[in-house]
């Protein structure tokens, strides 16, 4: 993809979002936006994502297996491709996701902040923008056990076909979509592929994720020939706005009294742990390791009952170290 093509895509996207933003809140989004004449593209350098960092933040206590939630949030902010909010950025969706910052700050929802930290680490280590780490808020409310009426499941709400295409194991006894380990690794791989295909443009990557890689490429080819906005679903454009709205909500939360202080608490560093062959259940293994069985069940809904699948679970790093997990995710 050339820089001129990226600039054209940015112009098309901006035109479409102007059209979407002009609709009142609650307007049905089933109709495609009307064609828009595109002005000559302006060549601009794309904003690079922040460099990945696999090292623990300065105040992380790796030996104790914890780190501050404030450091998790700072890592998230450092990895954003578009960290600045505009006056209208995602304005239609701020109300829809307004509770996300409060959930993150709620100590009673402690597994959310720890799980968010795990996902942020995975995407930053892959050199991908942390806007992508907000997708589970939209798809599942950051609930690894979530299921939808259309058959999607897990943190990232993969349908069976997509999951199998991404190498996630599914059979009669095990559904890897419910594993935050398997599903997040699949998401990192999938977004990494799209991000490379769209030359590091995170918005086109999100559109490709929502509408399909080849549909977006075909739309861009038509736009290059006609100079008119291709007929993509408004839902596809809105998906990008939802992510940006979430990012802006967190940025605004920083300015509120007490929000950053609420994040400044120690949460577990989560890590992939290979369970030993003799482990018969997650509860039995957690008791042997002195772990919180309720937390492990919440984090690993794929391992309820008898252990199955790949026998890998997400656990605090102290347990992962005892099991010799090393640096694997």
Class of domain 1-16+62-268: mainly alpha
Q: Average the pLDDT over 297-301 and give the result.
A: 92
Residues 294-322 as b or e (16 or more Cβ within 10 Å = b)? ebbbbbbbbbeeebbbbebbbbbbbbbbe
Number of Cβ within a 10 Å radius of residue 57: 14
Higher pLDDT, 62 or 131: 131
Q: Which two tokens stand for residue 43?
A: 């060549």
Residue ranges of alpha helices (H) inside the chain are 3-21, 69-78, 100-105, 110-125, 135-139, 160-165, 180-197, 202-211, 213-226, 234-253, 259-263, 282-289, 293-299, 317-322
Verdict on whether the full-model pTM lies above 0.85: no
Q: Is residue 109 very low, low, confident or very high in pLDDT (cuts 50, 70, 90)?
A: confident
Using one digit for the tens of pLDDT, what is the confidence trace for 198-255? 999 999 999 999 888 999 998 888 887 766 656 788 888 888 889 888 999 999 899 8
251 is catalytic: no
- pLDDT of 123: 98
Residue 187 structure tokens: 């998401």
Both tokens of residue 133?
Answer: 């780490």
- Comparing C-alpha atoms, which of 302, 315, 328 is closest to residue 170? 302
Report DSSP state, residue 162. Answer: H
**Mean pLDDT across 283-294:** 89
Give the pLDDT of residue 31.
Answer: 34
State the DSSP string of 236-278.
HHHHHHHHHHHHHHHHHHTTSTTHHHHH-SEEEPEEEEEPPTT
Q: Which of 44, 139, 182, 213 is catalytic?
A: 139
Residue 281 is predicted with a pLDDT of 84
Q: What is the pLDDT of residue 42?
A: 29
- Distance (Å, whole) CA 210 – CA 207: 5
The structural domains of the chain, with segments of one domain joined by +, span 1-16+62-268, 272-329
Task: Specify the range with the lowest mean pLDDT, choosing from 32-46, 75-89, 248-262.
Answer: 32-46
Half-sphere exposure of 306 (CA within 13 A, CB side): 3
More confident position, 130 or 312: 130
pLDDT grade for 6, boundaries at 50, 70 and 90: low
Q: In this structure, what token pair is assigned to residue 315?
A: 């656990």
Residue 280 has a pLDDT of 81
Q: Is 149 left (phi over 0), alpha (psi -120 to 50) or beta?
A: alpha
Q: What is the mean pLDDT of the chain?
A: 79
């Amino acid at each position: 993809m050339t820089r001129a093509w990226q600039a054209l895509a940015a112009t098309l996207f901006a035109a479409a979002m102007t059209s979407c933003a002009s609709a009142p809140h609650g307007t049905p989004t089933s109709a495609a936006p009307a064609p828009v004449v595109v002005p000559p593209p302006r060549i601009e350098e794309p904003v690079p994502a922040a460099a990945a960092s696999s090292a623990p933040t300065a105040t992380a206590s790796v030996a104790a297996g914890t780190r501050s939630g404030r450091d998790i949030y700072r890592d998230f902010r450092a990895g954003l491709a578009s960290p600045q909010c505009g006056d209208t950025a995602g304005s239609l969706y701020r109300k829809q996701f307004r509770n996300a910052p409060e959930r993150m700050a709620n100590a009673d929802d402690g597994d959310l902040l720890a799980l968010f930290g795990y996902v942020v680490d995975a995407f930053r280590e892959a050199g991908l923008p942390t806007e992508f780490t907000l997708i589970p808020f939209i798809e599942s409310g950051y609930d690894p056990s979530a299921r939808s009426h259309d058959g999607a499941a897990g943190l990232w709400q993969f349908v069976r076909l997509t999951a199998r295409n991404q190498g996630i194991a599914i059979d009669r006894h095990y559904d890897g979509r419910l594993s935050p380990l398997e599903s997040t690794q699949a998401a990192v791989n999938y977004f990494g592929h799209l991000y490379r295909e769209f030359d590091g443009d995170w918005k086109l990557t999100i559109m490709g994720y929502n509408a399909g890689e080849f549909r977006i490429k075909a739309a861009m080819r038509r736009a290059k020939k006609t100079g008119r906005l291709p007929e993509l679903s408004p839902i596809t454009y809105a998906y990008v706005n939802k992510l940006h709205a979430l990012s802006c909500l967190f940025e605004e939360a920083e300015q509120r009294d007490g929000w950053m202080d609420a994040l400044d608490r120690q949460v577990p560093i989560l890590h992939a742990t290979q369970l030993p062959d003799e482990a018969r259940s997650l509860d039995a293994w957690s008791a042997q390791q002195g772990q919180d069985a309720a937390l492990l069940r919440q984090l690993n809904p794929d391992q309820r009952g008898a252990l199955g699948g790949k026998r890998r679970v997400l656990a605090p790093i102290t347990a992962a170290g005892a099991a010799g997990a090393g640096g694997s995710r």
